Amino acid sequence: MGAQAVAIRISGDESAFWGCGFFGAQDTLHDDKGRHYFRDCYIQGSIDFIFGNARSFYENCQLISIANPVTPGAKVINGAVTAHGRASKDDNTGFVFVYCSVGGNGRIWLGRAWRPFSRVVFAYTTMSDIIAPEGWNDFNDPARDPNIFYGEYNCTGAGANMTMRAPYVQRLNDTLISYFLNMSFIDAQQWLQSYNN
């Protein structure tokens, strides 16, 4: 209860989930490896509740933190949505969240750099005020800052204010986001049936 336990591990390539719920606390969804698509899913957790080194596209998903509530104004961080495990610049992996929402309890980061080339993008996502102003964490290893890729694009809500974001966070423009907004990021045209219908 409230501790580390994987609810599901996805290691198969070309896997898709529609309208599924993933419930846990720490390390809920082990998005391990392969190309994956999530649509209209509910994903709940507290610390690194979506983690792994897959290349995944999350569309219209609810990301709900169950981290312990914090006193207003407190600086404590008690959760993180993602911990992506990209270990090399040659790995074509990453998590992309489009038209999602982030809410719940606690004071959390959007992600932390589990591995030195961690890559996560949020676009058109609604973020509540539970997001810490810096938004992201380099796993307390500044040597990772030049290599991690954390980007945000046209997000809304109290947690989407980028004025105090960590210096390595990218404010993506129309050109940079185009690669991540297209489901060709996961080669969907080759295998995702609904993509071709």
- Cβ atoms of residues 82 and 102 within 8 Å: no
Buried b (16+ CB within 10 A) or exposed e, 98-116: bebbbbbbbbbbbbbbbbb
> Do 139 and 109 touch, CB atoms closer than 8 A?
no
Q: Which residue has the tokens 């580390």?
A: 4
- Structure tokens given for 76: 């404590």
Q: Known catalytic residue: 90?
A: no
**Which one from 27, 31, 48, 138 is the annotated catalytic residue?**
48
d(CA 80, CA 46): 6
Active site residues: 48
